[in-house]
Amino acid sequence: MKKLINNTDNIVSEMLDGMTAAYPQYVKRLEGLEVLVRSSGPSPKVALVSGGGSGHEPSHGGFVGKGMLDGAVAGAVFTSPTPDQVFEAVRAVNGGKGVLLVIKNYTGDVMNFEMAADMARDEGIDVEQVIVADDVAVENSTWTTGRRGIAGTVFVHKIAGAAAEAGESLADVKRIAEKVIANVRSMGMAVNACTVPAVGKPSFELAEDEIEIGIGIHGEPGTHREHISPVDNISDTLLGKILAEGIYDSGDEVAVLINGMGGTPLMELFVANKHINAVLDGQGLKVARTIVGNYMTSLDMEGFSVTLLKLDDELKKYLNAPAETPAFVQA
């Protein structure tokens, strides 16, 4: 294993310090905790807290800032943060209008975020939660009951974050987040697996001509392996499963996220997008917005995921609202 790290024990802590050192205009770290919050402090609006295991950078700390998250809790690599860390994040960002937890659907995350919510409610903080489960690849998995939460989560951060920034109530921010979740679907694939630093070898091995379809973001196995083919074919497979959900109809406006898994060159993501854009156009879908890049990664995994979000006027307004965070800025 060759990684640009110092040691596996404090990789998350060093990463968080490196992030605050790079972007002090947006984020600061809660002392002694693996939590990033806005450096501007809490404000009188609904606050959003997300997080999960580390290794998905820039998720989630990279999305803390105006118009997106108020706090992000970083667990160990691919490991849920503990309830006390989530609780401290909630306390720190609470501005008196309530806090919404954005949880990716993994058993550990759901359990620990819910415990933190209970702890916060005991202190009189109004806490609600939404659970993102956008991955159409599998119905249940190693670490989930139900579908996994993957790159679609970034649209929840963006849109619910903008709604909170605009002064919507906790009930409305939650309603809007749930509308995103109801209308967002994703699916991914890998050319090569990731290597968890503390493990030191790839999560799975693929042959020189083999790819894995339907992978998760923690090195979980996908639905099947197949011989590598042109990326247009691979995109058809991913998109086909997403479109088969039956929630995207001709004439709908959609937003697209072509998400790199961490080790895939941007060049290849753009090549993929040419065909994906054409397929969506051929389906009569109007692509109102596309984002291409590394947003919900899996360490050094090579591969990508496609995310489709059906828009209405409300979602579109908040998708296009300003944001200022380390990893996503919009004027």
For the annotated catalytic residues, the residue numbers are 56, 218
Residue of the chain from 42, 51, 53, 62 that contacts a copy of itself (CB under 8 A): 62
Residue 132 touching a copy of itself (CB under 8 A): no
Of residues 277 through 316, those in contact with a copy of itself by CB under 8 A are 277-278, 287, 290-294, 297, 299-300, 302-304
Residue of the chain from 76, 132, 136, 234 that contacts a copy of itself (CB under 8 A): 234
Q: Which is nearer to a copy of itself, 5 or 111 (CB)?
A: 5
Q: Measured from the CB of residue 128, what is the shortest distance to a copy of itself in angstroms?
A: 29
Residue 251 touching a copy of itself (CB under 8 A): no
Burial of 149 (0-12, 13-18, 19+ CB in 10 A): buried
Residue 6 touching a copy of itself (CB under 8 A): yes
Q: Which stretch binds a copy of itself (CB under 8 A): 9-17, 82-90, 134-142, 149-157?
A: 9-17
Q: Which is nearer to a copy of itself, 23 or 113 (CB)?
A: 23
Q: Which stretch binds a copy of itself (CB under 8 A): 135-143, 146-154, 216-224, 262-270?
A: 262-270
Residue of the chain from 31, 122, 208, 313 that contacts a copy of itself (CB under 8 A): 208
Residue 203 touching a copy of itself (CB under 8 A): no
SS (H, E, C) the chain: CCCCCCCHHHHHHHHHHHHHHHCCCCEEECCCCCEEEECCCCCCCCEEEEEEEECCCCCCHHHECECCECEEEEEEECCCCCHHHHHHHHHHHCCCCCEEEEEECCHHHHHHHHHHHHHHHHCCCCEEEEEECCECCCCCECCECCCCCCCCHHHHHHHHHHHHHCCCCHHHHHHHHHHHHHHEEEEEEEEECCECCCCCCECCCCCCCEEEECCCCCCCCCCEEEECCCHHHHHHHHHHHHHCCCCCCCCCEEEEEEEECECCCHHHHHHHHHHHHHHHHHCCCEEEEEEEECCCCCCCEEEEEEEEEEECHHHHHHHCCCEECCCCEEC
Residue 31 touching a copy of itself (CB under 8 A): no
Residue 23 touching a copy of itself (CB under 8 A): yes
Residue 7 touching a copy of itself (CB under 8 A): yes
Residue 212 touching a copy of itself (CB under 8 A): no
Which positions touch a copy of itself (CB under 8 A)?
2-7, 11, 14-19, 21-23, 54-55, 57-58, 62, 191-192, 206, 208-209, 211, 228, 230-232, 234, 256, 258, 262-275, 277-278, 287, 290-294, 297, 299-300, 302-304, 322, 324, 326-327, 329-331
